[in-house]
Amino acid sequence: MIKMGVIGCGYWGPNLIRNFAAQQGAQLAYISDLDEKRLNHVGLLYPAAKKTRNYREILEDPEVQAVVVATPMSTHFPLGREVLEAGKHLFLEKPMATTSEDCRALNEIAKKRGLQIMVGHTFVYTPAVRKIKTLMEAGELGEIYYVNISRVNLGLFQKDANVVWDLAPHDVAMLNHLFGADPVAVSAIGHCYVQKELGIEDVAFVTLEYPGKRLVHIHVSWLDPNKVRLCTFVGSRKMLVYDDVSPSEKIRVYDKGVDVQPHYENFGEFQLLYRSGDVFIPRLDTVEPLKAETAHFLDVIKGAATPLSSGEHGLRVVQVLEGACRSMAENGRQVALKYDA
Amino acid sequence: MIKMGVIGCGYWGPNLIRNFAAQQGAQLAYISDLDEKRLNHVGLLYPAAKKTRNYREILEDPEVQAVVVATPMSTHFPLGREVLEAGKHLFLEKPMATTSEDCRALNEIAKKRGLQIMVGHTFVYTPAVRKIKTLMEAGELGEIYYVNISRVNLGLFQKDANVVWDLAPHDVAMLNHLFGADPVAVSAIGHCYVQKELGIEDVAFVTLEYPGKRLVHIHVSWLDPNKVRLCTFVGSRKMLVYDDVSPSEKIRVYDKGVDVQPHYENFGEFQLLYRSGDVFIPRLDTVEPLKAETAHFLDVIKGAATPLSSGEHGLRVVQVLEGACRSMAENGRQVALKYDA
Amino acid sequence: MIKMGVIGCGYWGPNLIRNFAAQQGAQLAYISDLDEKRLNHVGLLYPAAKKTRNYREILEDPEVQAVVVATPMSTHFPLGREVLEAGKHLFLEKPMATTSEDCRALNEIAKKRGLQIMVGHTFVYTPAVRKIKTLMEAGELGEIYYVNISRVNLGLFQKDANVVWDLAPHDVAMLNHLFGADPVAVSAIGHCYVQKELGIEDVAFVTLEYPGKRLVHIHVSWLDPNKVRLCTFVGSRKMLVYDDVSPSEKIRVYDKGVDVQPHYENFGEFQLLYRSGDVFIPRLDTVEPLKAETAHFLDVIKGAATPLSSGEHGLRVVQVLEGACRSMAENGRQVALKYDA
Amino acid sequence: MIKMGVIGCGYWGPNLIRNFAAQQGAQLAYISDLDEKRLNHVGLLYPAAKKTRNYREILEDPEVQAVVVATPMSTHFPLGREVLEAGKHLFLEKPMATTSEDCRALNEIAKKRGLQIMVGHTFVYTPAVRKIKTLMEAGELGEIYYVNISRVNLGLFQKDANVVWDLAPHDVAMLNHLFGADPVAVSAIGHCYVQKELGIEDVAFVTLEYPGKRLVHIHVSWLDPNKVRLCTFVGSRKMLVYDDVSPSEKIRVYDKGVDVQPHYENFGEFQLLYRSGDVFIPRLDTVEPLKAETAHFLDVIKGAATPLSSGEHGLRVVQVLEGACRSMAENGRQVALKYDA
C-alpha cells in the first residue's frame, strides 16, 4: 500500500484523485488546495483523505511515499522540487515545467536521490495510442510519410500559457512515444486573436520534423466551435485516422493509398496508382486512460515498470514546445532541436 | 439563343456540356476533343452537337458567339487567346492561366474587343457560399477573426501542377468573393511526399492575410484517406462551419464564441467569457452550382449581368497562387501581393 | 442533512451512491449489498459510509430518513415494503415493481404513513426531456401526430425480464411525462431469438395510443450492433428528433413538415404541400440527470417539491408494461388500459 | 443495337432514359409522355430520340425491340399488356402492377409470346446488395436471426398508393433476392396521419416471416424529417448494417454478437456471452445501380442473362404487398402467403 498525497484540486486534480483512490495498491492519505471551498467540495467525496491547505504537511509526513502535483504550470517546478527534496516520488501534470532548464533540474534531483518522476502525458496511456503503436510496429502502415493533427475547440483560454503550451504537449508526447524518437526540428506560426493585448497565441500551426524526414503538422486552436481531436497518419501502405472525439470508433485503418510505379521511361508514362480499399475499425479496450496511467505510476514506484512518460520524456516535450515558441517569435523560422545525450 | 462550342471533353468538360445543353438560352453547337474515343463517348449523349477534333472549326463558325475551354491548365492561355481573337466570348475553366501575365494578356484582348471572360470558379455560385455571403453582409458573424480551411482527399495526382494550383483556387476565389477584397500577403509551406523526384508538392499549408488583419489558413492535400472540404469562419459574434461534403447540412451557424470583457483593472481581473449556444442549420436551395454558373454566363453575354468570376477576378486568384508558390520556394517567407489598379 | 442508506451496489447503485454522496443536503450513511466483494469495492470510494451485507441494519437506524433501493427488479416490492414499514422515504429504481398490484400496495403504505416514494425514471430529469417539454408546451411542434422510438443495443441480456421490461420503462415514463397523460391502449409484438428456451423476448415492437389519437411506436431490442436511442416527434408544425446517443446535439428541431391545403374541390385538386426548412439545435444544460434526480428526491423529502416520478407515476408505467406483455402473449391484440381514479 | 422506346418522362423516367441512352448496345429511338412540356424538357437533352405524346407510335414501329414503362403504378398493367401484345420486350417500373392477378396476366402473355419482362427493382442491382449477398452466401453472418429495416423520409405523398406500396417494394425485392426465398407470412399495421380522409396510410410497420423462422421488420414512413434507409442484419456469427444514405460507408460488418453457452445446469448458471469486436467496412464498386440494371436488361434481351428481377420475381413482391394491405385492413392479423408453383 503506497501512501500518497495530491496537491491541486482544480480542473484536473479530481480526476487523478478519483483514480488513485480507486487503485488497490494506493492509499490516498492527503488532498491539498489553497482554495478552501474547492478543497471541501472535493473532500466531501473522499472523507478518508486528510484535507489541508498547506501542502507542506504532506511533505513532512514520513510515511507518504509519493506526491501528485496537479497545479498551474508555473508552479510545477517549485512544487516538484520540494516534493523530490522531501524524498518522495513525483507525479507531475503536463507540461513538466515551463522551461527545459527546470525539467533538467528536476531530473537531476530525482536521479541523485533515486526517486521516480512521471509526467501526466495521458495520451500515451490511451487504448487508442497503444493500438496505433502496435499497428505501426507491426508494419501495418508501412513507412510513415506524414501525420496531420487538428486539436481545436472553444476555449478554455489560459492567461499564463499560449495554445501551444496548452494543447500541443499531448501531440508531442504521443508522437515521441509512437515514433520512439524525438523531432530534429520545429517551426511554428502563431496568432493572437482574442488576447491581442496580452500577446497570447490562441491559434497556432506547428510543424515537426522527425528523423527520416517524417513530418508532422499540428493545428492547435482555442477558437473553433467544435471540439476536434483528429490525427491522420499517412503511410506508404495504409492510412490511419485517430479521432479521439468519436465515442466508439476512435481508430480507422484505411487500406488505401498511392503507389508510385517503379519503372517508367518518361514523364508521359509516369503513373500513380490510386488504391481505394476497405476500412477496418479495430475494437479497443474500454479502460479509462487515467486508470492505466495511475496503475503504471504505482508499478513504477514499486520498481515493476519503467515510466513510459518519464522525466526524460517530459523534458524532451518541453524542449519541443520551447523550440516552437522560439520559431513563432521569429515568424516561423525553423529551429533545430538538440537533446542531452 | 446563343450558339456555343465546348473545347475539352475530359474530366470536367462533360459537366459543363451537360449544363449548357440544358440551358434554354443556349445552343450547344460543337464539342471538341483531341481524343477521338472520348469525343465519341460524350457525343453519344449529345447527338445534336457537331463533334470535331479540330477546335478551330468552332472558331471559324461566324454564328458561334461563345466558347467554353475546359482543357488542361497549361492550354488555357493559348486556347483562350485564340477564342478571343476569333471574336467569341470566353468561358475558361479555373485556374484562368498558369501565370498572371497570361491572365493580363487575356483580359486586355477581351477589353479591346469588347468581349466577356468568365472563369469557372464554381464555388462562387454554390447555394452555400451565397448563403454565407448573405449572413456575413447582414453582420451575423460580426467581425471575422480568421478562417480555417481543410481541402484534402486522396489524389488525383496531377503531373503538371502542384496541390496548391489544383485545390487552392477554390478557396481563394471563394474568399475574395466573400470578403469583397483581395489578400495583401501570402505565405505557404509545401511538401513533396509521393512525387519527390518531380518536385510536385502534394501537401501544402497556405496563409492569406486580407485587409483588416483577417487571416485565412488553408490546408490542401492529395494525401488524406477522407475527402474533407471544411471551412470554419470564426467571427466576433458567431462562428460558422461550412462542410461541403455534408449532403444536407452544409452550413452550421454556432451562436457561441468568446467575449472579451471590456473593463478590467489588472490581469488578475481579466476575464474571458465563453459563450456556448444554439446551433442553426439554414436550409439551402438545392440548385446545382453549375446550373447557376452556366446561366450566369449566358446573362453576362446578353449584358444582363456582370460576371461574379470575371477575368479580373480570375487574374487575382492566379496572383495569389503565384505568391504562394514563391513563398513555398523560399521556405515560407511571407510574400506581399500587389494588384493592378 | 438527510441521513440515507443505499441498498444495492451492482450495476446502477454506484451511480446513485456517487450522486447522493455529492449532494450537500444528504449524508450517505450506509451502503449495502449481499455480495461482500462488490460491497468492499464500492466501499473503498466512500469510506465514510458504513458497509453492511444486512440491509436491515439500515432500516433499524432511527436516524436514517430515506432509503434507496437499487436491486434486481423482483426484489423492489419486498424491499420497498420493508423500507416504508420501517418509516423511511423510499427511492426505488425503475421499474417500480413487477406487478401493478405490488405498486399499488407500496403506494398505499406510503400514503398511510405519510412517506414519499420516488421512482428512478431518470429520463424525466434529463436536460433534453425538459427542453422537449418546454418546446411542446410552447406549441412549437403543433399537434403531435406520432412519436417513433428506437431503443436498441447489444445485450445486456436479462434472465428475469424481457426487453420490454428492461428498456421500455424509459420511454413510457418519458412520454407520460411529456404528454401529461397516460396511454389508453397498448399493443405489442415480441420475439425470442437468443433465449428461445426461456421464452424471454429480446426484440419487441410496442404501440401506445395516447388520448387524442396520438400514437407512439417503440422498437426495443437487445440484438443490435449499435446503441440507438432515437425519438422522432412528428408534429403538425415542426418535427423534433431526440438522439440521446449524440454527445453534443441531442435535440434537433426541423422546421419542416407537411401541410394539407384546406380547400379543394376534388381529389384531382388535392394538394399536399411539403415544407423543407431550417434546422435548429438548442443548447442544453450539461447537468448530469442523476444529479438533478437525486437533488429532486431531497427536495421531495423536505416537502419542497412534488415528485415528477412519483409512486403513482411509477404504477402507471408498470400498468403499460403489463398491458404490453399481455398483448405480446395474445399475438399483438390491442389491450385497453384503465387506471385508478 | 437494340432499338428502344421509353414511355414516361416524369420523376423516374429520365433516369432510365439517361442510362439507356448511354448504353452502347441500345438505341434510344423514342421518348413519350402525355405532358408536352415535360416531353420537350427531357427531349432537349436527347435530340436524337423521337418525341411523341402518343406511345402507340412506339408500339407500331416494327424495328423497336423493347419498351420501358415508367408511368404511374395504375397504368403499369394496361401499358405493359399493350407492349407485350405488340411483341416487344418489357421493362416495367416497380411495383410490377397493382394486383397479383395483373402480374400473372402479364407473365402469361410474355411466356406465350417468348418475350422478356424485367421489373425495375433497382436495389437488386446495387453494389451494396451484391456485396451483402456475397457475404451471406459465404456464411460470414452465420444464420440470420432477423432483419430490421427503416425506410423513412418526408413525403413524397402519393394519392394513388399508400406508403407500403410506395416504399416497401424495395425491401421485399431485396430480401427475396438475398434470401433466395419468399416470405411465408406477413403482418402489418398502418396509420393514416396526413391523408386521413383518403384513408391512405403514411406510416406502416410490416413484419415478414421467411422460411426457417427468419423474421424481417420494416418501418416505412412518409413522415420523418430525415431520410433513413437502414437495414440491420442480425446473424448468429456477425451483424451487418447497410446504410444506403451514407455516401461512402454503406456496409459495416460488426464482428460482435451474442453467444449462448452450450452447457449449463440450471438457470442460475445460464450465461450469455457478449462479444464486442472489430468493425469492417468493405470497399464497394462505385457503379450507378441503374447502369448495371439497364445493361442487365440488354443482356436479358440478347439471351445472355436470366433476369434477376423477372416478372415472376415482380409478381411475388406484389403478392407480399397485397398480403400486407390485407393484414392492415384486419388490424395486423398475420396473413399466410402462397405462391404459384
Please judge whether B254 and A159 are an interchain contact, meaning their C-beta atoms are less than 8 angstroms apart: no
Residue of C nearest to B249 (CA): C279
Q: Complex ipTM above 0.90?
A: no
In chain D, which residues have their Cβ closer than 8 Å to the Cβ of C226?
A: 232, 241, 254
Q: Which residues of B167-178 are buried (b: 16+ CB within 10 A; e: fewer)?
A: bbbbbbbbbbbb
D99 burial type by CB count under 10 A (0-12 exposed, 13-18 middle, 19+ buried): middle
Domains of chain B from N-terminus onward: 2-115 (3.40.50.720), 124-288+318-336 (3.30.360.10)
- What pairs with residue B231 in β-bridges? B149, B242
Residue of A nearest to C226 (CA): A248
B11 burial type by CB count under 10 A (0-12 exposed, 13-18 middle, 19+ buried): exposed
Q: Has residue D41 got a pLDDT over 90?
A: no
Q: Has residue D262 got a pLDDT over 70?
A: no
Residue of D nearest to C156 (CA): D274
- What pairs with residue B204 in β-bridges? B190, B220
Interface list for B 260-299 with A (CB within 8 A) = 260, 267, 270, 272, 274, 276
Residue of B nearest to A217 (CA): B205
- What pairs with residue D235 in β-bridges? D144
| Nearest CA-CA distance, residue B188 and chain A, Å | 11
Find the CB nearest B279 among C249, C256, C276. C249
C-beta separation of A295 from A23 below 8 A: yes
Find the CB nearest A207 among B189, B258, B270. B189
In chain C, which residues have their Cβ closer than 8 Å to the Cβ of D213?
A: none
Find the CB nearest A256 among B154, B195, B276. B154
Mean pLDDT of B312-339: 94
Q: What does the block give as the cell for B144?
A: 471575422
Q: How far apart are CA B58 and CA C241, in angstroms?
A: 56
In chain D, which residues have their Cβ closer than 8 Å to the Cβ of A281?
A: 278-281
Residue of C nearest to A227 (CA): C248
The helix/strand/coil state of B215 is strand
Specify the pLDDT at position A270: 42
Q: For an interface test with A, which of C15, C31, C44, C245 has the most A Cβ atoms less than 10 Å from its Cβ? A: C44
- Count B/C contacts: CB-CB distance under 8 Å: 28
Low-confidence ranges of chain C (pLDDT < 50): 261-271
Q: What is the pLDDT of residues B288-300, one digit of tens each?
A: 899 999 999 999 9
Residue of C nearest to D207 (CA): C189
| Nearest CA-CA distance, residue C234 and chain D, Å | 7
Q: Which chains touch B (3 or more CB pairs under 8 A)?
A: A, C, D
The helix/strand/coil state of A211 is coil
Please judge whether A47 and C45 are an interchain contact, meaning their C-beta atoms are less than 8 angstroms apart: no
Find the CB nearest B21 among D21, D45, D48. D45
| Nearest CA-CA distance, residue B71 and chain D, Å | 23
Q: What is the pLDDT of residues D153-164, one digit of tens each?
A: 887 666 678 999
Residue of C nearest to D214 (CA): C193
Please judge whether B272 and A215 are an interchain contact, meaning their C-beta atoms are less than 8 angstroms apart: no
Please judge whether D280 and A280 are an interchain contact, meaning their C-beta atoms are less than 8 angstroms apart: yes
C-beta separation of A320 from D317 below 8 A: no
Please judge whether B272 and A207 are an interchain contact, meaning their C-beta atoms are less than 8 angstroms apart: no
Interface list for D 200-259 with A (CB within 8 A) = 249, 255-256
| Nearest CA-CA distance, residue D19 and chain A, Å | 25
Strand order in the sheet with A89-92: A50-52, A26-32, A2-7, A66-69, A89-92, A117-119
Specify the pLDDT at position D164: 96
In chain A, which residues have their Cβ closer than 8 Å to the Cβ of B154?
A: 256-258, 274, 276
Q: What is the mean pLDDT of chain B?
A: 90
Q: Which residues of A77-114 are buried (b: 16+ CB within 10 A; e: fewer)?
A: bebbbbbbebebbbbbbbbbbbebebbbbbbebbeeee
Mean pLDDT of B307-311: 96
Q: Is C10 on the interface with B (CB under 8 A)?
A: no
Q: Which chains touch A (3 or more CB pairs under 8 A)?
A: B, C, D
Question: Residue D74's CB: how many other CB atoms inside 10 A?
Answer: 12
Find the CB nearest C47 among A22, A48, A227. A48
Find the CB nearest D215 among C156, C191, C241. C191
C-beta separation of A331 from A189 below 8 A: yes
In chain C, which residues have their Cβ closer than 8 Å to the Cβ of B278?
A: 280-283
| Nearest CA-CA distance, residue C50 and chain D, Å | 30
Mean pLDDT of B274-292: 85
Q: How far apart are CA B32 and CA B36, in angstroms?
A: 9
Specify the pLDDT at position B270: 42
In chain A, which residues have their Cβ closer than 8 Å to the Cβ of D282?
A: 278
Specify the pLDDT at position D268: 36
Q: How far apart are CA B323 and CA C5, in angstroms?
A: 72
Specify the pLDDT at position C46: 87
Q: What is the pLDDT of residues B180-220, one digit of tens each?
A: 999 999 999 898 887 777 788 999 999 999 998 899 999 99
| Nearest CA-CA distance, residue C193 and chain A, Å | 25
HEC secondary structure over chain D: CEEEEEECCCCCHHHHHHHHHHCCCEEEEEEECCCHHHHHHHHCCCCCCEEECCCHHHHHCCCCCEEEECCCHHHHHHHHHHHHHCCCEEEECCCCCCCHHHHHHHHHHHHHHCCCEEECCHHHHCHHHHHHHHHHHCCCCCCEEEEEEEEEEECCCCCCCCHHHHHHHHHHHHHHHHHCCCCCEEEEEEECCCCCCCCCCCEEEEEEEECCCEEEEEEEECEEEEEEEEEEEEECCCEEEEECCCCCCCEEEECCEEEECCCCCCHHHCCEEEECCCEEECCCCCCCHHHHHHHHHHHHHCCCCCCCCEHHHHHHHHHHHHHHHHHHHCCCCCEECCCCC
Nearest Cα neighbor of A56 from A27, A25, A88, A95 is A88
Specify the pLDDT at position C158: 66
Specify the pLDDT at position D258: 62
Q: Which chains touch D (3 or more CB pairs under 8 A)?
A: A, B, C
In chain D, which residues have their Cβ closer than 8 Å to the Cβ of C246?
A: none
Q: Which residues of B130-155 are buried (b: 16+ CB within 10 A; e: fewer)?
A: bbbbebbeeebbeebbbbbbbbbbbb
Pairing of strands C203-210, C214-221: antiparallel
Low-confidence ranges of chain A (pLDDT < 70): 156-159, 257-275
Pairing of strands A50-52, A26-32: parallel
Length of chain A: 341
Q: Which residues of C279-288 are buried (b: 16+ CB within 10 A; e: fewer)?
A: bbbbbbeeeb
- Count A/C contacts: CB-CB distance under 8 Å: 21
HSE at residue D240, side-chain half, CA atoms within 13 A, is 27
